Amino acid sequence: MGKIRTPFYRIVVTDSRKARNGLSIEEIGRYVPGQEPSIIEVNSERALYWLGVGAQASEAVEAILKVTGDWQKFKGLPGTEGTLRVAAPKPHKSVAYEAAVKSAMDEPKEGATTLKKKAQEKLAAKANPVVEEAPVVVSEPEAVAELAEVQAEVVASETEAVVETPAVEETPAAEAAEASTEAAAE
């Protein structure tokens, strides 16, 4: 039974004269080989009963019964405890969730995500604030005169940069309009 790459098998008691996949008398266990370790569940009481009343185990079922120890019990051989490995029980979902939340709380808050470019710039600006320079106080008269000269040069260069706008010349259409208004007035 099962599907591709995930089979599972039922361990059943059936009449040898019936079809292989036909009606079975009783299901006494199951075998799931796709996991590590494989899942083998056998109802030991029912397996020993059917073996005791004359049921013949197939080779595969006999191997499974040897792993569980039921075959040794039936034959009276040593090793009735079997060699069955059992998977560790899974933790409950709530326990796993609480552990995940606890580990998330322990993670560092800074640098957990990548910031956008503007956010990085704002963070950098907060970390390294720009310090404005204080105005220079000059107490010597020579330095004051030199500072005044520099300021005068700056003002002069600004005034040179201002371009005078040329006078607007009258267009021929404007002259024609004036001439027509003068002729109409005479």
pLDDT in tens, 135-168: 656 556 676 677 777 777 766 665 555 545 455 5
- The answer to whether position 9 is within a domain reads yes
DSSP letter for each residue of 115-155: PPHHHHHHHHHHHSPPPPPPPPP--SHHHHHHHHHHHHHHH
Residue 138 has what pLDDT? Answer: 53
- The answer to whether position 20 is within a domain reads yes
**Does this model's pTM top 0.75?**
no
CA distance 88 to 36: 11
**Count of domains observed in the chain:** 1
CA distance 60 to 20: 14
Residue 161 has what pLDDT? Answer: 52
- The answer to whether position 53 is within a domain reads yes
CA angle 125, 130, 131 (to 5 degrees): 155
- The answer to whether position 40 is within a domain reads yes
- The answer to whether position 17 is within a domain reads yes
Is 170 exposed, middle or buried (CB count within 10 Å of its CB: 0-12, 13-18, 19+)? exposed
CA distance 158 to 5: 85
Residue 131 has what pLDDT? Answer: 62
Reduce the DSSP state of residue 40 to 3 states and report it: strand
Query: Using 50, 70 and 90 to split pLDDT, how confident is the model at 83?
Result: confident
DSSP letter for each residue of 150-172: HHHHHHHHHHHHSPPPPPPPPPH
- The answer to whether position 108 is within a domain reads no
For the ranges 20-34, 39-53, 73-87, the lowest mean pLDDT is seen at 73-87
CATH code, 6: 3.30.1320.10
- The answer to whether position 127 is within a domain reads no
Range of the domain at 45: 2-75
CA distance 165 to 89: 92
- The answer to whether position 80 is within a domain reads no
